[in-house]
Amino acid sequence: MNLHDPSYWLPLAFLAAMGLSILIYAILDGYDLGVGILMLNATEAERDRMIASIGPFWDANETWLVLSVGLLLVAFPEAHGIVLSGLYLPVTLMLVGLILRGVAFDFRAKARAGLKQTWDRLFVAGSMIAAFSQGYMLGRYIVGLDNSASAQFFGVISGLCVMSAYALIGAAWLILKTEDRLQQKSIRWAQFALPAMCTGLLCVSVVNPLVSDRIFTKWFSFPEVFLLFTLPLLTVLLLIQIHRSLLRLSQTKQARAYIPFLCTTGVYILAFIGLAYSFFPYVVPDELTVWAAASHVSSLWIIFIGTIIVLPMILGYTALSYYIFRGKARELVY
Amino acid sequence: MSIISVISVITEITENSNIQTRLINMDALILARIQFAANISFHILFPTITIALCWFLLFFRIRHLQTGNPAWLNAYQFWVKIFALSFALGVVSGITMSFQFGTNWPGYMETVGNIAGPLLAYEVLTAFFLEATFLGIMLFGTHRVSARIHVLATVLVAVGTTLSAFWILALNSWMHTPTGHIIENGQIIAGNWLEVVFNPSMPYRLAHMLLASGLTASFLIAGISAYRLIRNDKCPSVGAALRTAVISAACLIPVQIFVGDLHGLNTLEHQPAKIAAMEGVWETERGAPLLLFAVPDEESRENHFEIGIPKLASFILTHDINGEIAGLNDFAGEHPRVAPVFYGFRIMVGIGLMMLLTSWAGAFQLKRHGHMTVGLQRVFVAMTFSGWAATLAGWYVTEIGRQPWLVQGLLKTADAVSPVPPSDIAITLTVYLLLYTALIIAYVSTVFHLAKKAQSNMLADLPESHTGAPTHEPA
């Protein structure tokens, strides 16, 4: 167990890379899935503008999912097999959702005018299905891929939690990227999604230590508990800040429109750290550790070198793309 | 009852249950194969278009910058819409693929994951992010960045799609002709990555696939442009696009036939059973005929209704009219099902020959008369998606032709199949098939709809058709 031994630290590096990739995916595709969910309750002109706000980004956002699954596949092939076979049906459901929304995005503007509304409905449905099934899978993963009725019930709760979390970050994105009436509408959406997400976060935080003695010990042992207490504390502070910022935004136009998005991202990061702490060093909860699941060192090396060179470039041109499309969203024209 | 009869009854029961488990496994195997084939077939349709279409778009864009002729800009603006649509379908079906490697074939990653993993990872890292990010700038950034940056973004998307093809074909080729690996403690790991990537069939397969993409995009552009001409669309961009596509098809098809032949010779060297199935040769023979038609019969291990040209198969494959071709009976139990490989090969070659005829006739008429006859235009319309049919037929030949192996000589498909219950696979397969059928219908009808709409748009707002309003306002 030392840092000079690649078979010790390489799997850890890949776990970190995979975790980072999942986190970035949840934030980035989270907001565009959230925008899709919110389109349920929008007029056609609003839908056009909402689509325009995510148009240049959604494709790259979804690539983070491919990278996450890809890293799981190449770095921890055995875990990939166990997790994805265990979640076979919800995985398929999610893929169907992602397919529907991905194609509806393009078809809505290109197919016959009479079909636009149908494609919009499919876009909303696809976004909801994808968000719900991701949350459902997270829930099932938290309870150790258990198949009991209570585990499935928890999966459903978790699915609804992720849907509201995506709706919140989607609304926060729209507050940032739109103005006037749509922005005001987005503030109300965010005010609606915020308490829903809080309830979900609370459920997951309570259930998580209760289903596993190991996780319970990890969180409530002395003296770590004092340090760990900062996680929920910070989360609560951020949630209050989101609430206050939404109030201010609804009253005055001068308020800073990026605060809700920034704080929601903060909540995502804290929730992620909490989950990561609970499960480390397991890739399959209580079953397979990061070292037992890892591929051969020689393959990890070759991917590691590529990742170190390419990842900064990816982050660089992703930043470039957000810079080019900065400011309020306008109509999309080729 | 004697002991012997008791034993025989017990053996019978155990044998029966063995047969039963084997039947269930068989079902899971066949279902997993059909499902994977459905997904990968649906997926490949769209990269086949986008890989080459992006280079066409770059050509249109650069021609416009060079000549200032708005026809080229118009062609770009029309085809970029179809590119965006095709790209979206490719992306979402590609996401499905990244999950199905694990859900359908867990044994694949367990056995050869140390080779396949890095190649797939490099595809995601070097290609997917590049194309996905710069696609946003290419599609929606026209009024936000300079023409130079926009061309650069288009180049990067084109490079990304081609790079993606490079990595995935390196992996696919390695599955046909594995080299560069070593076996250490029962694990297959890479010994020499250059040999893994540039394995014997890789250069042929990559060239064959890139040319297939070029031909698919050429016939798509030619077909839709011909459709617009027949509908009396007067937009000057239509003629420019048609000419570009017909000339590129006429240039690419002979190269493709040549490369395809080399690829076949390479297959004969490394996968003789596949060649035997493609040619329908059951018994090893000298001076084998080239069968134009036959009905291979797996039961009686012979062909019915053979129509062939004597000695031609031997001549093509060995460059000797009396050359020996190994027959399927030399590979009994180790060769693929003959019929799909045999028919698939003939469909691919048949479409290739039709492509040769139409594109040369089209190029000749354009050169001689400056335009095409309506009759030939109709043929091009009929062949709009001929590239899809040829590409799928070719992929079926090579992939079914590799069976029963998943990785030639190293891993059998049956040993990689997932423990997921067959009923689950059957349910999801049904969902996928319905979804894909609906999406293909939507895609094809939308492409033709865009062609019709382009015309009415042009009639409606001709004076201001080239002035785009800014898409975004800087903060």
Q: Give me the pLDDT at residue B325, please.
A: 86
Q: Look at chain A and report how many structural domains it folds into.
A: 1
Higher pLDDT, B44 or B7: B44
- C-beta atoms surrounding A78 within 10 Å: 19
Say yes or no for a CB contact (<8 Å) between B140 and A333.
yes
Minimal Cβ distance to B450: which of A74, A80, A110: A110
Whether A63 sits inside 8 A of B474 (CB atoms) is no
- Report if residue B65 sits inside a domain: yes
Tens of pLDDT, residue by residue over B53-67, are 999 999 999 999 999
Ranges of residues in chain A whose predicted pLDDT is under 70: 1-3, 253-254, 333-334
Compare B309 and A224 and report the one with higher pLDDT: B309
Residues of A within 8 A of B87 (CB-CB) are 59
Chain A residues touching residue B129 (CB < 8 angstroms)? 60, 63, 67, 310, 314, 317-318
pLDDT on residue B454: 82
pLDDT for position A250? 85
What is the structure's pLDDT at B314? 86
Among the partner residues A85, A111, A334, nearest to B420 by beta-carbon distance: A85
Q: What is the mean pLDDT of residues B404-415?
A: 87
The residues, ordered by sequence, that sit 6+ positions from B103 with a Cβ below 8 Å of its Cβ are A84, A85, A88, A91, B418, B420
Q: Which residue has the higher pLDDT, B460 or A63?
A: A63
CB-defined contacts A:B, below 8 A: 228
Q: With an 8 Å Cβ cutoff, is A77 touching chain B?
A: yes
Q: For residue A71, which residues of chain B lie inside 8 Å, CB to CB?
A: 121
Least CB-CB distance to B103: which of A65, A84, A103?
A84
Task: Name the strand (E) or helix (H) holding A130.
Answer: helix A116-142
SS3 B72: helix
Q: Please, are residues A78 and B110 in contact by the beta-carbon 8 Å criterion?
A: yes
Task: Count structural domains, chain B.
Answer: 1
- Rounded distance, CA B346 to CA B387, Å? 15
pLDDT tens digits for B343-369?
A: 999 999 999 999 999 999 999 999 998
In a domain, residue A3? The reply is no
pLDDT of B462: 44
What is the pLDDT, as a whole number, of residue B332? 80
Overall average pLDDT of the B95-117 stretch = 83
Q: Go through A182-191 and write b for each residue having 16 or more CB atoms within 10 A of its CB, e for each that does not.
A: bbebbbebbb
Percent of chain B with pLDDT over 90: 45
pLDDT for residue B24: 53
Q: A99 and B449: CB-CB below 8 Å? A: no
Report the C-alpha gap between B42 and B395 in whole angstroms: 12
Shortest alpha-carbon distance between residue B258 and chain A (Å): 36
Q: Is B28 helix (H, G, I), strand (E, B) or coil?
A: helix
Contact B451, B224 (CB under 8 A): yes
Per DSSP, the residues of A40-75 read GG--HHHHHHHHHHHTTTHHHHHHHHHHHHHHHHHH
What is residue B237's three-state secondary structure?
helix
Helix/strand/coil percent split, chain A, to 5: 85, 0, 15
Helices A259-279, A180-211: axis angle to 10 degrees equals 20
Of B367, B401, B375, nearest in space to B176 by CA: B401
Other beta carbons less than 10 A from residue B292's beta carbon: 13
Structural domain span for residue A200: 12-294+311-324
Structure tokens at A314: 């990816």
Query: Looking at residue A87, what is its pLDDT?
Result: 87
Please state the ipTM of this predicted complex: 0.84
Pairwise CA distance, residues B61 & B76, whole Å:
6
Higher pLDDT, B392 or B420: B392
- In degrees and rounded to multiples of 5, residue B324 shows phi and psi of -95, 135
Q: Residue B466 burial (CB < 10 Å; 0-12/13-18/19+)?
A: exposed
Does A315 lie at the interface with B, CB-CB under 8 angstroms? no
In a domain, A332, yes or no: no
Alpha carbon distance B209, B227 (integer Å): 27
CATH number at residue A95: 1.20.1630
CB atoms within 10 A of CB A317: 18
- Is the pLDDT at B1 greater than 50, yes or no? no
The parent domain of residue B257 ranges over 45-264+340-460
Contacts of A89 in chain B (CB under 8 A): 424, 427-428
Decide which of B1 and B217 is more confident: B217
pLDDT digits (tens, 9 = 90+) for B138-170: 988 888 888 889 999 999 999 999 999 999 999
Question: What is the predicted pLDDT for the residue at B57?
Answer: 94
The closest of A213, A326, A221, A268 to B472, measured between CA atoms, is A326
Å from B438 to nearest chain A CA? 11
The answer to the question of residue B436 being in a domain is yes
Instruction: Output the average pLDDT for chain B.
Output: 86
Please report the sign of the dihedral spanned by the C-alpha atoms of residue B20, residue B22, residue B28, residue B34: negative
Q: Is the pLDDT of residue B283 over 80?
A: yes
3-state class of B104 per DSSP?
helix
pLDDT of residue A31: 94
Q: Å from A280 to nearest chain B CA?
A: 23
Q: Measure in Å the smallest separation between the Cα of A195 and chain B Cα atoms.
A: 31
| Measured distance between the N- and C-terminal CA atoms of chain A, rounded to whole angstroms | 55
> Which of B91, B190, B442 lies nearest to residue A111, judging by beta carbons?
B442
